[in-house]
Structure 1
Amino acid sequence: MSAHHDQDWDADTEQKLRRKSTKPQGRRKLADLTGEDPSDVADDTIRRLLDLGHLTEVVCELKSGKEATAYLAQTARGPALLKIYRDFAARSFKNDAIYREGQVVLDQRAQRAMASRSRKGLEMLQFDWVMAEYAHLWQLWQAGLSVPEPLVGPNVKTYAETVPAVLMRLIGTEEQPAPRLSDVKLTPEEAQSAWQQSVAGMADLLRLGYAHGDYSTYNLLWWENTVTIIDFPQLTTRTNPNFTDLLRRDAQSLATSFRKHGIHESAEGTLREVQRRALGPAPEPRVLLP
């Protein structure tokens, strides 16, 4: 649809959107996501994921946010985090325009629908938002960044079948999923390590030409002394006229959110350090096994 992940609107996509319920889907009830048999599962998204073989079971809800709810799930490849987005019309967070500026939408009809935020336009925005998270996850994972491994793809048509869900490998264990850095208590040594890794992660994104758009301890996981970056649908590139402001805001958010861990760095100093590190060597890319 948009040039950043080469997703065009085709007849199949139009048909999928038409099949959707006219009522916006908000937070799902866990009871609707589970059942003894796939046919007993009330939620059509979960039934589809079960039928496609991407899931074997939804276990429990982990966290519900303003855009999506995260669940612990089981797959043939082990425990996973299943992130299911609410429909755009059912979200408390809807101001995505700042992240979308500068994107080239190839289909003019789609562009008009999204700009008007009609029902069809909101469905298109939803589809694009989820597809962007998958596309970014795959790019960052393959580039060697510390992000969760996506479990569907890398073929675009394959992960398009899972919208509005994103499936990724669970960080942590089933008994103890990795907490966010905002929710843990760190020793001074751990805090310094977490800070250095977080600055390095932001620099890794910048080296690839990205600003995260929401970079703070709320979107950084902490597991076995390792920081993992999460939440990527709003990633923006230098084509976005807001890029510099978003990058500066990320540095501010990171510096502010680390104060509870005893790290007191300025936003300006953080941004300079990120920009300096972005000129350095990149992580070792990951090799995709067949």
Structure 2
Amino acid sequence: MSAQRQTPWMTQDDFWDDANEPQDRIRRPRKKPAGRRALADLTAEDSDLQDDIIRRLKDLGHITEVVAELKSGKEATAYVARGPRGSVLLKLYRDLEARSFKNDAVYRAGQVILDARAKRAMEGRTRKGLAMLQEGWVNAEYAHLWQLWHAGLPVPEPLVGPHPFEYAQTTPAVLMRLIGTEDQIAPRLSDAALSPQQAQSAWDQSVRGMADLLRLGYAHGDYSTYNLLWWEDTVTIIDFPQLTTRQNPHFHDLLARDAQSLVTSFRKHGIQADAQSTLREVQRRALGPAPTPRLLLP
């Protein structure tokens, strides 16, 4: 009898947890996880051959065409595109199951999920749970971009939003203004050739950027010259889905790791700094004046 009482509960939760599906239910074939997308599919003019995401972004009026692949990373591939507002950096995330970096639990620690079924699905990494994690990861980058942009930090301008219902329609893509030009795209600091004076300026700007993040209550989580761009003697911070708040029990460890990563990656440019001293300097600067906020346009 107890088993019969549990059946309706199991059926309802089946929406969230694939493991609870009745064994006699016809299972739909699983869609192959989307990994790195072929440029030919993104640039195809024939709508029948065109990638579904690109077709959707075009229908929404965000882009008109994809121009070239810029760089492929462990989570996403960046492309140069064009849209109504000019050159666009189009970041297309792979499905979680197709990423080389999959364990994002350390960054999500401390987050409160009120829906118990959704929480169980995400923790169990069921098919629906993975879909929710994917959407949350992409939307987090948009949300963080908008907050940092409005706060006056040196980050790329987000091109969809600021309301979540707007940028949720673009998952798994994030669109932002291209730093540089289509002919000369801003390099990462890790790839830039700097004079000693430029290296010192880039270091000071990078430490200030980390302090500005901390002032807002954030640790970047992956702060190094690999996630800093260099254009017209100015540092731009990128890559924000893993941004972590003080509610995360690992916050101070991630902040210290950011300081160490920054110090280590800047040695290539002749900057010799100590991670502990850098962390103290970041914390000191975080108590100082904030950047001038950007005005919210109607």
Say whether 1:85 aligns with 2:61: no
Tell me how far 1:167 sits from its aligned partner. 0.1
Alignment partner of 2:276 out of 264, 268, 272: 268
Asked if the contact 1:132–1:232 (Cα under 8 Å) also holds between the matched residues in 2, the reply is yes
Partner of 2:120: 112
Structure 2 CA distance for aligned equivalents of residues 259 and 245 of structure 1: 22
Partner of 1:195: 203
Partner of 2:161: 153
Structure 1 CA distance for aligned equivalents of residues 56 and 36 of structure 2: 18
Secondary structure of 1:81's aligned partner: strand
Tell me how far 1:108 sits from its aligned partner. 1.3
Say whether 1:280 aligns with 2:261: no
Deviation track 1:39-79 (CA, whole Å, cap 9, x = no partner) reads: 25521111000000001000010000010000000010000
Structure 1 CA distance for aligned equivalents of residues 50 and 30 of structure 2: 14
Alignment-mate amino acid for residue 88 of structure 1 = L
Alignment partner of 1:176 out of 169, 172, 184: 184
Alignment partner of 1:123 out of 128, 131, 134: 131
Structure 1 CA distance for aligned equivalents of residues 119 and 36 of structure 2: 27
Say whether 1:235 aligns with 2:261: no
Secondary structure of 2:145's aligned partner: helix
**Normalised by the size of structure 2, how large is the TM-score?**
0.89
Tell me how far 1:34 sits from its aligned partner. 1.4
Alignment partner of 2:263 out of 245, 255, 258: 255
Tell me how far 1:35 sits from its aligned partner. 2.6
Tell me how far 1:137 sits from its aligned partner. 0.3
Partner of 1:142: 150
Partner of 2:217: 209
Structure 1 CA distance for aligned equivalents of residues 232 and 285 of structure 2: 24
Alignment partner of 1:24 out of 33, 48, 60: 33
Structure 2 CA distance for aligned equivalents of residues 41 and 198 of structure 1: 43
Structure 1 CA distance for aligned equivalents of residues 220 and 114 of structure 2: 24
Structure (1 or 2) with the larger CA radius of gyration: 2
**Structure 1 segments unaligned to the other structure (5+ residues):** 1-13
Structure 2 CA distance for aligned equivalents of residues 289 and 40 of structure 1: 38
Alignment partner of 1:162 out of 123, 148, 170: 170
Tell me how far 1:36 sits from its aligned partner. 2.9
Which contiguous aligned blocks of 4+ residues in structure 1 show a shift greater than 3 angstroms? none
Secondary structure of 1:54's aligned partner: coil
Alignment of 1:55-70 (within 5 A): 55-70=63-78
Alignment-mate amino acid for residue 146 of structure 1 = P
Partner of 1:244: 252
Partner of 1:7: none
Secondary structure of 1:218's aligned partner: helix
Tell me how far 1:23 sits from its aligned partner. 1.2
Asked if the contact 1:41–1:47 (Cα under 8 Å) also holds between the matched residues in 2, the reply is no
Structure 1 CA distance for aligned equivalents of residues 116 and 234 of structure 2: 44
Alignment partner of 1:47 out of 50, 55, 58: 55
Alignment partner of 1:34 out of 31, 40, 43: 43
Alignment partner of 1:100 out of 108, 127, 134: 108
Change (3 A) 1:262 1:46: same
Secondary structure of 2:174's aligned partner: strand
**Normalised by the size of structure 1, how large is the TM-score?**
0.92
Tell me how far 1:20 sits from its aligned partner. 11
Asked if the contact 1:141–1:286 (Cα under 8 Å) also holds between the matched residues in 2, the reply is yes
Structure 2 CA distance for aligned equivalents of residues 194 and 183 of structure 1: 13
Partner of 2:79: 71
Structure 2 CA distance for aligned equivalents of residues 162 and 80 of structure 1: 14
Tell me how far 1:288 sits from its aligned partner. 2.1
Partner of 1:9: none
Q: How many positions carry a matched residue from both structures? A: 272
Deviation track 1:240-267 (CA, whole Å, cap 9, x = no partner) reads: 0000000000000000000000000000
Tell me how far 1:122 sits from its aligned partner. 1.1
Alignment partner of 2:233 out of 193, 206, 225: 225
Secondary structure of 2:170's aligned partner: coil
Structure 1 CA distance for aligned equivalents of residues 103 and 66 of structure 2: 30
Structure 2 CA distance for aligned equivalents of residues 73 and 32 of structure 1: 14
